[in-house]
A and B are shown apart, each in its own frame.
Chain A
Amino acid sequence: LSRARLLWNRLRAAVPASLAMLLVVVAVFGVAWALIVPPWQAPDTPSHFAYVESIAARHALPGVDGRPGFSRDQTAADNAVGAGRIAFDAAEARPSWDPAADRAYRAAAGSLPRSDGGGPNAAAVNPPLYYLYAAIAYDAMIGGDEFDRLYAIQLWGVLLLLAAVIAAWLLAGEVLGPRQLPTLITAAVVGLLPMQTFICTSVTVDALLIPLWTFALWLGARVITRAARRRDAIALCAVTAAAILTKATSYALVPAVLLALVLGWRHRDAEERRALRATVGPALAALVLPVLLWVGSATALGRSAINTVEPAPGTHPKAFMPTQFLSYLWQFYFPRPPFLKPFRTTADLPLWDVWIGEGWGAFGWLDVRMVGWIYTVLATITGAVAILGATILVRMRTRLQAELIAFFALALAALLLGLHVTEYRSIIADSGPVIQGRYALPLVALFGLAVGLIVSRVPLRARGAVSAVIVAALLVLQVLALATVARAYYT
């Protein structure tokens, strides 16, 4: 008993009360999201679930030619609720509300095979780390059916959401110093952004990618501010490797990680710099070895270790044209001037449709959205945060501040550049646009950090009230988003 009390006292001392309370709040909303969304109504969840099932039931990676993409059990469950039928059509069609269909599937589920999937699907190219994590929840549902397994994975995702909140708290503490209000706001933004809660509690690789990137941003900042201590450097590289083993997009983290290591090393005095090999060697090994192992295994199995853009059937690949790419990039963020040929990927400005609309909240298969004027408000808030954040940043003069800004900016630029190059290549290959708002969520902590930074500059007298309004607004936005999903699928 005394040992338990000791442990509890240590935990209380280590975890600030406001963080503990925030985690409780985020967990409640996370559970609500995990349970309210109808089965397989998040982007590509049928494919991600099939991947998990292939690992758990077949103990093998999916993507084997000649096998069905989905098991018969998953197909039967999908048909029973009408998941595939209503994907992209939430405005007109609904999932089944028929209790008899629910009972009929469950009665038949015991005799349906789960190991006859494993064929090609949209997620099969991904590395396996997230799916191994999800398979733990899948396997825990002994005697359950596909719906039990699906929702067990989604509830399991709440832990990933909480991990992202903890990482954001640590990041803000490292960058903004030991001030709880800005730290709380940073973590609250990361934990309560509606799209974030939706994605982290869906069956998708992005659910793991977001906390890993957030931890990488924290560790990178720590490596810079604490002169590349050995364990920080190794942890940073290991987390980056984990991110790469989750989704190939994470190769975009590597330049920023290398920059952090160099900057951290430069903070050491001449004597310590000589011990470089003792720090950098194990750190780079923690990054390179797991990735090489995956690339080698993937190559041996005849799989692609990175996401590739394939031209649409019957079309010929077109050459990458730098000027056309710049035109595409301009038209993504700004209105098209008359001298540029149209190269727009969405009906409205993609900046609005993709980063604002889908970044703050587009649920289901991106077909369930909150009331329209909310996005105007959210766009205004995003713009205000960007402008105020930039105004504060340009006034920062110390070397350490400049290094941190360079680290974060490189992570941001590399991710966006990677996404835009991929999308441009996909468009010229006639495979259509690929960027979705959720692809920016690995950097959601930077947005939270910007809000935290602004709060830290609010005069002390008003700081509490401003923070209170931000947290209350995030909670109300959460309720609105949950109600939007319930309204779309159940009324």
Chain B
Amino acid sequence: VSRRTTLLAFIAAAVLGLVALLLAAGSDRRHTAFSADARISSQVAFATTGTSICQGELHAEFAFSAIRAWILTAGPTAMTLVVTPRNGALALGALRSTRNLVGSHTIALNRTVSAGSRVVVCVHNEGPGNIGMLGGLAPASEGPLRVAGRVVAPGDGLALMFLRPHPASLLSMLPTVFSRAALFKFSWLGAWTFWLLAVAVLAAFVVAGFAVTQATREDTDSARTTTPQ
């Protein structure tokens, strides 16, 4: 058993795999700016023609320019999405359909809503069909859910995903990923822990390479001593 061949094979396989992962992470476009944190368990709001379903005020953790919502409609329907920041201009979007809608739909806004705003998101039913919106248990920080101005389903919220104006690659988001991962863990833990772990993971490749090479050496020595001369 050649130790050199073992080491070269390990380096080639590890480098190939890691480069492939880096390329994949660099090209994986992530659209989500943040989520309303509501689970999608059932229809939580229902709007007839001329009425609105509103959620908020929510805290816009990051800038967004489109919203993905989970919608059910029966027949042709038109709806207007109105995002009202506490300080700033309205952002508008529209969705029109001639058939039944079931599932998630992304509605683009006419402008980007900046990070840090507190916003109310409303879906206004332009008719003629009715609109149901999916959601479920939501944190109180997402504000109340209202239909035609009246609070409905206390504790529930709309399932909404707020999408970035420009998608970011998974690789470029690493600092954000690590700072988010550091929350709700050990009180002393920070993003630095995950940077340290990333370095340790890379170092683990080196250690693993030595482990295989060492095992190869042991087997070679053992084969040499047991081979009859």
Report A349 CB to chain B, min CB distance, Å: 26
Q: At the interface, is chain B mostly helix, strand, loop or mixed?
A: helix
Are the CB atoms of B35 and A483 closer together than 8 Å? no
Contact with A along B8-28 (1 / 0, CB 8 A): 111001100110110001001
Task: Give the chain B neighbours of A121 by CB distance below 8 A.
Answer: none
Cα–Cα distance between A292 and B216 once the two chains are bound (Å): 47
Report A108 CB to chain B, min CB distance, Å: 14
Neighbour of A479 across the interface among B18, B40, B141, B213, CB < 8 A: B18
Are the CB atoms of A147 and B184 closer together than 8 Å? yes
Contact with B along A8-42 (1 / 0, CB 8 A): 00000000111001101100110110011011000
Are the CB atoms of A464 and B2 closer together than 8 Å? yes
Task: Give the chain B neighbours of A178 by CB distance below 8 A.
Answer: 222
- Identify the stretch in B71-79, B87-95, B116-124, B198-206 within 8 Å (CB) of chain A at 4 or more residues: B198-206
Task: Give the chain B neighbours of A480 by CB distance below 8 A.
Answer: 21
Neighbour of B17 across the interface among A32, A96, A472, A486, CB < 8 A: A472
B207 within 8 A of A: yes
Cα–Cα distance between A148 and B187 once the two chains are bound (Å): 7
Are the CB atoms of A93 and B38 closer together than 8 Å? yes
Contact residues on A (Cβ < 8 Å of other chain), bracket: 35 or more
B223 within 8 A of A: yes
**Complex interface residues of chain A between 445 and 471 (CB less than 8 A to chain B):** 460-461, 463-469, 471
Task: Give the chain B neighbours of A35 by CB distance below 8 A.
Answer: 181, 185, 189, 193-194, 197
Report A478 CB to chain B, min CB distance, Å: 8
Neighbour of A475 across the interface among B1, B139, B205, CB < 8 A: B205
A173 within 8 A of B: no
Report A422 CB to chain B, min CB distance, Å: 28
Which single residue of chain B is at the shortest CB-CB distance from A21?
B211
Task: Give the chain B neighbours of A152 by CB distance below 8 A.
Answer: 186
Cα–Cα distance between A463 and B3 once the two chains are bound (Å): 10
Neighbour of A471 across the interface among B10, B177, B193, B222, CB < 8 A: B10
Report A4 CB to chain B, min CB distance, Å: 24
Cα–Cα distance between A84 and B39 once the two chains are bound (Å): 9
Task: Give the chain B neighbours of A188 by CB distance below 8 A.
Answer: 208
Are the CB atoms of B30 and A491 closer together than 8 Å? yes
**Complex interface residues of chain A between 62 and 103 (CB less than 8 A to chain B):** 77, 79-82, 84-87, 89, 92-99, 101-102
Neighbour of B181 across the interface among A36, A99, A184, CB < 8 A: A36
Are the CB atoms of A102 and B184 closer together than 8 Å? yes
Interface centre among A28, A89, A490 (most CB of B within 10 A): A490
Are the CB atoms of A93 and B37 closer together than 8 Å? yes
Are the CB atoms of B200 and A28 closer together than 8 Å? yes
Neighbour of B177 across the interface among A16, A24, A476, A491, CB < 8 A: A491
Cα–Cα distance between A390 and B34 once the two chains are bound (Å): 50
Are the CB atoms of A145 and B212 closer together than 8 Å? no
The count of residues in chain B whose C-beta lies closer than 8 Å to any C-beta of chain A is 70
Task: Give the chain B neighbours of A93 by CB distance below 8 A.
Answer: 35, 37-40, 159
Are the CB atoms of B173 and A22 closer together than 8 Å? no
Question: Measuring CB to CB, which residues of chain A are less than 8 angstroms from any residue of chain B?
Answer: 16-18, 21-22, 24-25, 28-29, 31-32, 35-36, 38-39, 77, 79-82, 84-87, 89, 92-99, 101-102, 105-106, 144-145, 147-148, 151-152, 178-181, 183-184, 188, 460-461, 463-469, 471-473, 475-476, 478-480, 482-483, 486-487, 489-491
Question: Measuring CB to CB, which residues of chain B are less than 8 angstroms from any residue of chain A?
Answer: 1-3, 5-10, 13-14, 17-18, 20-21, 25, 28, 30, 32, 34-35, 37-40, 59, 61, 70, 104, 136-139, 141, 159, 161, 170, 173, 176-177, 180-181, 183-187, 189, 193-194, 197, 200-201, 203-205, 207-216, 218-219, 222-223
Q: Please, could you name 18 A-B residue pairs with CB atoms under 8 Å apart, sorted by A? A: A18-B218, A21-B210, A35-B197, A82-B139, A85-B139, A93-B35, A144-B186, A151-B185, A180-B214, A180-B219, A181-B215, A181-B216, A468-B9, A468-B212, A469-B10, A472-B209, A479-B18, A487-B170
12 more A-B contacts (CB under 8 A) besides A92-B35, A151-B189, A188-B208? A18-B214, A25-B208, A39-B185, A92-B70, A106-B187, A145-B187, A178-B222, A180-B218, A184-B215, A475-B14, A483-B21, A491-B30
